[in-house]
Structure 1
């Protein structure tokens, strides 16, 4: 993996393709040296599904270079652009990231609709209980009962958790509706049942919304969190004092075998070289207030329009030094890093039931539809691992560096429902900015 600020390029040579004789990574070299003319020529003759001046970055974006890629340390092009501090580049990467995310959803749509159509109609109820080893934080953590209705190619999720991050949680009465028969731009809707408003999730963001998001990115820490499962193992949980035996208990209506999850490590990194002392102090004050039960509204937190930072000093690293660096340890080219790293080993338990009627693959398809909810995406990532036999009716998963969740599948039944539960009520009004994080 090779890096250049602020865009990532990773050259992967297809079988049979001979690299440019002037070097094994010509696209990297062009970006490194800011050679727009040669880069443009290379793009016309080679693919750019690759990892590793600003003119080069804009040229790569114009040719739809993937923005969601990460390097060995978990940093994305957007993270590097925030560090560098060029507002125009951050905006360009953010827009391209959202465009590619929408396109990815649409690419998966036919497969998901086919899978949903083949799956029986059902009602599923699962509970979330969040815990933290941070005393103040544990006082404000929520629990949530989620209800999922699936009929044909339609899904409805009812939840009481509007927003949940490492810094805040917001409660309410929320419904997410996926209508597979509707046009793609009309398929995903979130209802706020208290305020009687709705928002279409994949709406095109206004210029003001994008600019405000850039302001927030430029004034916040850059996070990277990776759940390492390389050394993960499962061992049967035991019960009893004198006579030890494998633990088997009922979870809801389902008999389940309990396992201990070993070797689950969350590696997190936090960078703040782009922040001023004022930013750091303000963010710390907000965090402390939220930990004591406050909320963002009480902070009078209004994003301040951020100007581009003064560029870092030009690097003195040669292309030869850069290209010959050990894999995954290329020299850093931008602003001097201010990075804090931590590793936390999680002790977790998982209960697997052979009686649960739904298969993991079917669950993954349903979770992929409702992935806009961040904690559901964490659940989806976890159950994609190679698990013991059965269905995970109860499991502990890390959702943030300081927070874990116990997810319990309480109830499942095949059923039929009235079509009205998959439609927007007539008295609800549209509010495109109700859920800015979705």
Structure 2
């Protein structure tokens, strides 16, 4: 008996779901999923390639398996050992119905994730102490000389009062599609149970949107747009490696050198250089046509020059209401058997479309201005930044920096040359306030509700 228990502890993960998906055995898969649901709290098992059952289902084009796994809550954004998620593999396979389903369920999972994060955010708010006001500035820069002066910058004004957060911004959106300037506010109330209450205000046009009240049609239209974009652009995985990084003081002066210090807004800061950082970027484009690749290059070039990429995009479309992207022809069915796949441990067996992958590795330096005068810690603000949802990719990089052995203080200026257009992020002001008007967290009576404006922007 003890031998059996001992051997079971070293046994490979139980891959019953994987095999049923691989064999496209719908009836047995459904039964097994229902049994697991009754037992509750089962951990998502990965095979020796890091693939979940959902990975296999999308790569093999087993659509009914995909729907069953989604219905039972299988994760969509989990990466396998090669860095790819089921959603990315679905884009590669090119079946629009499957991609749409994944995006639809991904939104549900994000909402559930936000509900689970509420205790963490409430704890972060409590750790910050009283109500406050702070500023966060984004500076954008092009690699091309003299272009930076025409690129936008944005100073975000953030207010906290109790369980409510407000952020005012002049940059509505910054993506590969177009620059959108405006005057918007995001108000989030974490008091209610369940999903946080989110209001989006367009202060220029005096309209607002209540995120919980968007219609099914508006949400579906937004999802369809996301699907179109993903089917027409590169699949990208980027990771910043910090293991070999070195942090050292920045000195200034020719003869009598001294530690570089500078005032950032209201805070005195000492500067440090982080060298030997590495950004590893992988791109896949097996799902793209030559026309897609050419258009995407034009968009990237336009952005680097500070031009409105949206104009180029509009010129590429035949009409103001372009047709949705169609599913790609299915790739050749995989000839690999389950036994061969399960024994294939030394390399990545390609189950779906033949990959066209490009790897780019870039070493770079980052600069930090650390201030001991800043009244809070970066770790306390990160959950709030994530909740606001602004520039989420860059904030994920900030989390990477938090894991480094940073000097003491708060990074009031961060120069991270990771994204070609983001030059720096600064935090020039932070102050606790005894009173912030409650009117800042309500919709003015002169504003008109237009639930569709944000979805269309």
TM-score, length basis structure 2: 0.83
Query: 2:366 aligns to what?
Result: 348
Distance 1:22 1:424, change over 3 A: closer
Of 282, 287, 301, the residue aligned with 1:274 is 287
Moved more, 415-424 or 369-378: 369-378
Q: Does structure 1 residue 246 correspond to structure 2 residue 259?
A: yes
Tell me how far 1:48 sits from its aligned partner: 4.8
Q: Distance in 2 between matches of 1:134 and 1:333?
A: 41
Query: 1:422 aligns to what?
Result: 441
Tell me how far 1:167 sits from its aligned partner: 5.1
Distance 1:211 1:126, change over 3 A: closer
CA-to-partner distance for each residue in 1:220-268, whole Å, 9 max, x for gaps? 2222222222222311112222233332333222222211112222222
Moved more, 251-260 or 345-354: 251-260
Q: Does structure 1 residue 384 correspond to structure 2 residue 394?
A: no
- Superposed, 1:252-331 pairs within 5 Å as 252-290=265-303, 291=305, 293-297=307-311, 299-300=313-314, 301=317, 302-326=321-345, 329-331=347-349
Distance 1:157 1:338, change over 3 A: same
Q: Distance in 2 between matches of 1:71 and 1:136?
A: 42
Q: Distance in 1 between matches of 2:9 and 2:21?
A: 16
Moved more, 68-77 or 280-289: 280-289
Tell me how far 1:69 sits from its aligned partner: 0.7
CA-to-partner distance for each residue in 1:122-144, whole Å, 9 max, x for gaps? 11112211223355974653211
Query: 1:214 aligns to what?
Result: 227
Whether the aligned pair in 1 keeps the contact of 2:124 and 2:384 (CA below 8 Å) is: no
Query: 1:3 aligns to what?
Result: none
Tell me how far 1:397 sits from its aligned partner: 2.5
Whether the aligned pair in 2 keeps the contact of 1:74 and 1:226 (CA below 8 Å) is: no
CA-to-partner distance for each residue in 1:132-165, whole Å, 9 max, x for gaps? 3355974653211111111111111111111112
Distance 1:166 1:305, change over 3 A: closer
Query: 1:49 aligns to what?
Result: 44
Whether the aligned pair in 1 keeps the contact of 2:13 and 2:45 (CA below 8 Å) is: no
Q: Distance in 2 between matches of 1:239 and 1:88?
A: 58
Q: Does structure 1 residue 71 correspond to structure 2 residue 89?
A: no
Q: Distance in 1 between matches of 2:232 and 2:86?
A: 17
Q: Distance in 1 between matches of 2:98 and 2:7?
A: 32
- Superposed, 1:11-410 pairs within 5 Å as 18=8, 25-43=15-33, 44-45=35-36, 47-51=42-46, 52=51, 53-118=62-127, 119-134=129-144, 138=148, 140-166=150-176, 168-181=178-191, 187-201=197-211, 203=214, 205-290=218-303, 291=305, 293-297=307-311, 299-300=313-314, 301=317, 302-326=321-345, 329-374=347-392, 377-378=395-396, 380-386=398-404, 387-398=406-417, 400=419, 402-410=420-428
Whether the aligned pair in 1 keeps the contact of 2:124 and 2:380 (CA below 8 Å) is: yes
Moved more, 36-45 or 343-352: 36-45
After superposition, the CA RMSD in angstroms is 3.0
Whether the aligned pair in 1 keeps the contact of 2:112 and 2:195 (CA below 8 Å) is: no
Q: Distance in 2 between matches of 1:42 and 1:227?
A: 38
Query: 2:56 aligns to what?
Result: none
Q: Distance in 2 between matches of 1:437 and 1:77?
A: 27
Moved more, 284-293 or 269-278: 284-293
Q: Distance in 2 between matches of 1:21 and 1:277?
A: 47
Tell me how far 1:375 sits from its aligned partner: 5.7
Tell me how far 1:281 sits from its aligned partner: 3.0
Equivalent residues, number = 422
Q: Distance in 1 between matches of 2:417 and 2:28?
A: 45
Which runs of 5 or more residues in structure 1 are unaligned? 1-14
Q: Distance in 2 between matches of 1:238 and 1:22?
A: 54
Query: 2:57 aligns to what?
Result: none
Q: Distance in 2 between matches of 1:56 and 1:149?
A: 46
Q: Distance in 1 between matches of 2:397 and 2:362?
A: 18
What secondary structure does 1:73 align onto? Answer: coil
What secondary structure does 2:454 align onto? Answer: coil
CA-to-partner distance for each residue in 1:185-205, whole Å, 9 max, x for gaps? 671122111121222345465
CA-to-partner distance for each residue in 1:338-375, whole Å, 9 max, x for gaps? 22221222211112112211122321232132124436
Tell me how far 1:25 sits from its aligned partner: 2.8
Name the one with the larger helix percent. 2
Whether the aligned pair in 1 keeps the contact of 2:95 and 2:328 (CA below 8 Å) is: yes
Distance 1:369 1:206, change over 3 A: closer
Q: Distance in 1 between matches of 2:27 and 2:349?
A: 25
Q: Distance in 2 between matches of 1:333 and 1:96?
A: 23
Q: Distance in 1 between matches of 2:210 and 2:417?
A: 29
